Amino acid sequence: MQNCLECGEKIIGRSDKKFCNDGCRNAFNNKNNKDSSNLMRNINNKLRKNHRILSEQKFVDGKAKTTRSKLTTEGIDFEFFTSLKIYKNGAEYRFVYDIGYKFLEEDWILLVRKE
């Protein structure tokens, strides 16, 4: 017999069962998966907002062109991105999940979406 990982009650049923009911399973997973601090929560919120702003742009064949000032007006924070990719030709793309952007001349930005 095993005990529930959340409440410690004896588990009845399958031998590989870890929780006594769905409530305990949900409570256990919510505790373990919550953002551990305000810092993490705030960063994740900024990343989600950046992704939403980028995904609302008009993409044609996986590409779009816009200006830095337009994205800044919409509320994007260019300090927060999930990865940086530098290609052999020196082009530097910052990605927010599946959408990348590259700063071009003047105020222009090229957006690309990974398929």
| pLDDT tens-digit readout, 61-80 | 999 999 999 999 999 999 99
Q: If DSSP codes are grouped into helix, strand and coil, which group holds residue 87?
A: coil
Q: By mean pLDDT, which of 35-44, 53-62, 75-84, 100-109 is the weakest? A: 35-44
In this structure, the answer to whether residues 51 and 100 fall within a common structural domain is yes
Residue 115 has pLDDT above 90, yes or no: no
pLDDT attached to residue 36: 67
In this structure, the answer to whether residues 15 and 45 fall within a common structural domain is no
What is the DSSP secondary structure assignment for residue 89, as one 8-state letter? Answer: T
Query: ∠ CA 67-73-78 to the nearest 5 degrees?
Result: 70
Over residues 32-52, mean pLDDT: 87
In this structure, the answer to whether residues 49 and 105 fall within a common structural domain is yes
pLDDT attached to residue 84: 96
Domain count, the chain: 2
In this structure, the answer to whether residues 7 and 53 fall within a common structural domain is no
Range of the domain at 25: 1-34
In this structure, the answer to whether residues 27 and 52 fall within a common structural domain is no
